[in-house]
Structure 1
Amino acid sequence: MTAFSIVLLAMIAAFLGMRLYSVLGKRTGHEQEPVLPRRDERAAPSPLRLDDGDAGSAPAANSADTAGLVYEPAAEAGLRQLLAADRHFDAGRFMEGAEAAYRMILEAYWSDDREALRDLCDDDSYEAFVEAIDAREERGETLDNRLVGIDSAKITAVEMDRKEARITVRYQADISAITRDADGKLIAGSMSDASRTDDLWTFRRALGSSDPNWLLDEIEAA
Structure 2
Amino acid sequence: MNDGLQYIDIIFIAMVAAFLVLRLRGVLGRRTGDEQDRPPIISPSSERTDNVIDLPPRVPTGAAPLEGTLAGGLTRLRQVDPSFSPDAFLDGARSAFQIILMAFAKGDRDTLQPLLAPDVMRNFSAVIDTRERKGETMETDLVAFRSVAFEAVELRGRDALVTVRFVTEQVNVTRDAADAIVEGDPNHVDDVTDIWTFRRDVTSPDPNWELVATRVPEED
Shared fold (TM-score, shorter chain, > 0.5): yes
After superposition, residues 158-169 of structure 1 pair within 5 angstroms as 158-169=153-164
Distance in 2 of aligned mates of 1:200 and 1:43:
15
CA distances 1:64-117 after superposition (whole Å, capped 9, x unpaired): xxxxxxxxxx42111100100111211100111000000000100000001111
What's the CA shift string for 1:23-59, capped at 9, x where partnerless?
Answer: 86643xxxxx2344452355898xxxxxxxxxxxxxx
- Cα deviation per residue 1:187-215 (whole Å; 9 max; x = unaligned)? 21111101211111000111211211111
In the alignment, residue 10 of structure 2 is paired with which amino acid?
I
In structure 1, what is the equivalent of residue 169 of structure 2? 174
**AA of the residue aligned to 1:135:** T
Rounded Cα–Cα distance in structure 1 between residues aligned with 2:23 and 2:148: 23
Partner of 1:220: 215
Deviations 1:117-172 (A, max 9, x none): 10110101111111110111111101011111110110111111222111000001
1:75 aligns with 2:79: no
Question: What is the identity percentage for the equivalent residue pairs of Structure 1 and Structure 2?
Answer: 30
Output the aligned Cα RMSD. 2.1
Cα distance change on mapping 1:35 and 1:24 into 2, 3 Å: farther
1:143 and 2:138 correspond? yes
Q: What's 2:123 paired with? A: 128
SS of residue paired to 2:178: coil
Whole-Å separation in 2 of the counterparts to 1:186 and 1:215: 33
Q: TM-score, normalised by structure 1?
A: 0.78
Could you tell me which runs of 5 or more consecutive residues in structure 2 were left unpaired when the two chains were aligned: 42-54
Normalising by structure 2, report the TM-score: 0.79
In structure 2, give the amino acid aligned to 1:137.
E
On the 8 A contact 2:137/2:176 being kept in 1, the answer is: yes
**Matched letter for residue 5 of structure 1:** D
Distance 2:180 2:34 in 1: 20
Residue type at the aligned position of 2:118: D
SS in structure 2 at match of 1:116: helix
